[in-house]
Chain A
Amino acid sequence: MLGLRDPSLLVEVIMDGNDTAVFQQLARDELAGLYALARRLTSRDAAEDLVQETLLRAYRSFASLRDHQAGGGWLRVILTNVWRDRLRKDSRQPSEVPIDDVEHFSLYRTLVEEDPFPYSDRLHLDFLGSFSEHDVHLVLQRLAPLYRAPLVLRYMEGFPTKQIAQVLELPLGTVLSQLHRGRKLFERALWDYATESGLMSGTVAGREDAPCID
């Protein structure tokens, strides 16, 4: 069912009480994951409403979900659909952001140049290890939604690139290019955040307690 273009467009079906109970259980099981995805895609204020709208659309088309095991992915697709529709309505969103100054940024080379010691393999691990989950959240929020969404869907939610193109109703080439730009912007934002918030001082000095992400 994950390949559905927009499950909410399917015919509404009246559900009996049993189906409703099954849907409610699915919704409760998936609530934390849905809210987390909503928070990555949008602001705190908009996230709760995004989940509500998702639950409404999903409830209306629940009868179309044949494999209940796939319910989590199905709900995430619907949430992304709702988010996409809302973003389109919001004319304040720029369609693209300039990226020329970021195109040639390399986090790898920047880290190597910053390292006062002979380069070691631990350097980038130490750098990444200095970010808490909250730090990563703040870094992602710095990216325009256009670039943040494909990154979140691909690398945090594990959607295949083709499915992202389907869900966002974009050509595959566009998604690939947004992923590329998004990664560049993310690397640059990681670096800027680390220098602004002093994370780097802990990294280059070689924090022994930095958690290893391996």
Chain B
Amino acid sequence: MHRLISCSAAVERLWAYLDQDLDEHDQREVEAHLALCKRCCGELELAKHLRRFLATKHAADLPPGVRDRLDRFIDALAEPAGEGGTQ
């Protein structure tokens, strides 16, 4: 049997639980709590959605002006003076 933990203690560990950052004992305590608490299962679902949300909401726009300047910077790395500027 695992020690009974409160909802707040379970919720506090939910993401670490999903990340598998808990040790086995804490992992089991969270599982035991989830088995008896429907509300915390809802919290778990939301935590899963939020993790996926962060992983997929990527605005990776590289503005053309910035790309041009950084491209020139990369070109300049090869010049004999070495670590050249952006000109």
Contact = CB atoms under 8 A, between A and B. Distances in A.
Contacts of B86: 52
Contacts of B19: 154, 161
Interface string B50-70: 111111111111100011011
B62 A155 contact: no
Contacts of A125: 49
B77 A31 contact: no
A35 B62 contact: yes
A128 B83 contact: no
Interface stretch (A1-9, A70-78, A86-94, A179-187): A179-187
B55 A31 contact: no
Nearest to A190: B50
Contacts, number: 102
Interface string A128-165: 10010110110000000000000100111010010000
A156 B66 contact: no
Given A24-B77, A180-B12, A180-B15, A35 B58 contact: no
Contact of B62 (A32, A56, A133, A134): A32
Nearest to A36: B60
A63 interface: no
A112 interface: yes
B44 to A, nearest CB: 9
Nearest to A56: B83
Contact of A136 (B45, B57, B83): B57
A137 B51 contact: no
A133 B58 contact: yes
A51 B73 CA distance: 10
A36 B58 CA distance: 8
Contacts of A156: 54-55, 58
Given A24-B77, A59-B83, 4 more contacts: A21-B78, A31-B70, A55-B70, A108-B43
23 contacts: A17-B78, A20-B78, A21-B78, A31-B67, A31-B74, A32-B60, A36-B59, A36-B62, A48-B70, A55-B70, A56-B77, A59-B83, A107-B46, A108-B42, A128-B53, A131-B57, A134-B59, A155-B51, A155-B54, A158-B55, A187-B50, A213-B49, A213-B53
Interface of B: 8, 11-12, 15-16, 19, 21, 42-43, 45-46, 49-62, 66-67, 69-71, 73-75, 77-78, 83, 86
